Homo-oligomer: A and B are copies of this chain.
């Protein structure tokens, strides 16, 4: 079950069985049903999560209109949390809920820091992961600045073909920054 998680870490930092077991012992398994919240605005965000199974969306709700704006999906092999709230221990400003029944591995801030301090390999993993995350967000900003709705959608289709059938189009539209009607008329 946690093999997915081990492979994920080992793609950056190879581990012995003991090392992986030690890391895993700092995580707790969380199971959620479809529509359940992982994080809700105002929450204390105590954990960062790795998705073992299922699919979640992270979004903010515009108070006036009540409209949701999705800025991240996470399926198997992805990480998710309200990073700002998690790191600065401030109340969550976003919501995360499940599009499917999901299973996640969660780690607390203190355990994360503890592992990073104890295990250079884990720390290295975190740093590399954070760097790649930064790069991918930067690419997404470039796309938002440069590309039309059509081009952004095409990029999404080629980059995440496995998500297209799994996530309702209205949510993908939100992620791309267009209305569902506009998305429906593309391609």
- The minimal Cβ–Cβ distance linking A123 to chain B, given in whole angstroms, is 7
Inter-chain contact B134/A83, CB cutoff 8 Å: yes
Count contacts on A: residues with CB < 8 A to the other chain.
35
- The verdict on A54 contacting chain B, using a C-beta distance below 8 Å, is no
Stoichiometry (number of copies): 2
A69 near B137: Cβ-Cβ < 8 Å: no
Contact B137 A130 (CB under 8 A): no
| B62, B83, B132: the one within 8 Å of A146 (CB) | B62
Query: Closest chain B residue to A139 by CB distance?
Result: B84
| CB of A42 closer than 8 Å to a CB of B | no
Which B-chain residue is minimally distant from A176 (CB atoms)? B145
A153-187 CB contacts (< 8 Å) to partner B: 174-177
Complex formed: what's the CA distance from A69 to B59 in Å? 27
A135 contacts which of B69, B83, B128 (Cβ < 8 Å)?
B83
> Is A119 in contact with chain B by the CB < 8 A criterion?
no
A144 to chain B: closest residue by CB: B144
A108 at the interface (CB under 8 A from B): no
Write the residues of chain A forming the contact surface with B, with a CB cutoff of 8 angstroms. 60, 62, 69-72, 83-84, 87, 116-117, 120, 123, 126-128, 130-135, 137-142, 144-146, 174-177
Q: Which 3 A-B pairs rank lowest in CB-CB distance, beginning with the nearest? A: A137-B137, A145-B177, A130-B130
